[in-house]
Amino acid sequence: MTTERTPLPRTELADLLTDAAQSVSAILTAEYPTTANRSYLHPVLGALSAGPRVACELNDRLEAFVAEEPRPTTPAGLFTLASYAAALGWLTESLAELTTSVDQICTRAGIPTVPQDPDVATPGSAEPDGEFGFAFSALELAAIRTAAEAAGLPPGDYVEVLSESLLTASRITDACMEISSGLLEDAAYVRGAATDRVWIGDGPDSLPTLVRSLLTRMDAAE
């Protein structure tokens, strides 16, 4: 005899989304020890190390949610499932882009595929005698040259890969912030609704925040 499971209350559904939002935002504060010869990767290593773990945790929670409520039938349950799945998909895609970008940075920096003596400089272009293309102070120039020497790179190449690393960090930061804020908006909507039937509708306003955001991105890409 099959016993029908009682749908999760809205408070627990909202907590599921809130916990996911906190996990995603924690990616941005993750720290990872960076050696001097890889200092240009410091902006991205925290997210690169924490992101996959968070994605796995969110996937496990989603599977547990579906196991508890195999076929959500209430509008609140369906809304929560759609929001959570959209967040997980978006995060997974963003982490894949992060990994690709970091690989490209490493290739540009000439990181070898076999162990190398850290005291041996990586071949690169000659150190520029002129300007970097940026307005650096004398103190900043000295710091750049010191960091570049430790990384085995000419200063100009070091600035280039560091700039790419900062740009990559900015992209994953924007993605995590949007995912987290969307989850929190949906959690507030689930928790504050007067009735489960509030989600029944045909318009875009009946969709979770992240689903609407993804649809907007798809329309913009066409």
Tens of pLDDT, residues 12-30: 999 999 999 999 999 999 9
Q: How far apart are CA 152 and CA 38, in angstroms?
A: 9
pLDDT band at 3 (very low <50, low <70, confident <90, very high): low
What average pLDDT is seen over the chain? 81
Q: How far apart are CA 30 and CA 58, in angstroms?
A: 17
Distance of CA 145 to the CA centre of its chain: 31
Phi-psi sector, 152: left (phi>0), alpha (psi -120 to 50), beta: left
**Residue 131 reports pLDDT greater than 50:** no
For the chain, what are the domain ranges?
A: 10-113+134-220
What is the value of pTM for the model shown? 0.81
Tens of pLDDT, residues 148-189: 999 899 988 999 999 999 999 999 999 999 999 999 999 999
pLDDT given for residue 140 in this prediction: 75
